Amino acid sequence: MNEKIQEAFNKQLNAETYSAYLYLSMSAYFEATSLRGFANWMRVQAQEELLHAMKFYTFLNERGGRVVLTAIESPPTEWQSPLDAFKNAYAHEQKVTAMINGLVDLAIEERDHAANAFLQWFVTEQVEEESSADAVIQQLKLAGEGGGLFMIDRELAARVFTMPTTPAQG
């Protein structure tokens, strides 16, 4: 496996693991504020991020690369409001999108077609990730801090983690 790709994919594996840690921290924040539906949404998001990390882990191994696990940065633990937390989640997903796009650029530059093909799943996934967080932001803006917040909380409680049905990497 190309050294540059291996290093970049290990960095992304760490970033995906951090994402899981961030969403788990947000889940804990929501649990502490008795918004269990919001907490559930974030827990499911954390599970998705761990799946993403494992996709990079598996791909590195399948290509004969070396997985190198490094320290995971501590995430924030407090937000000003549910809206603030989701705005942070959305900004984080935009950052991850930029990282994935950078990996695609690197794969093209290095002429690593397998890496590029692998990354296309993440390109598509990031569209969904940003859209999902933004949808909650828009609902929260409409609802304000009143009873609408509890309706959204009830709706978010219904989210469940489902394993992707695509037999692709991971």
**4-111-12-165 Cα dihedral, nearest 10 degrees:** -150
Contact (CB, 8 A) for 17 and 53: yes
17-42 pLDDT tens trace: 999 999 999 999 999 999 999 999 99
Please write the tens of the pLDDT for every residue from 108-155: 999 999 999 999 999 999 999 999 999 999 999 998 766 788 889 988
Q: What is the spatial distance between Cα 126 and Cα 112, in angstroms, rounded to a whole number? A: 21
- In CATH terms, the fold of domain 3-156 is Ferritin (1.20.1260)
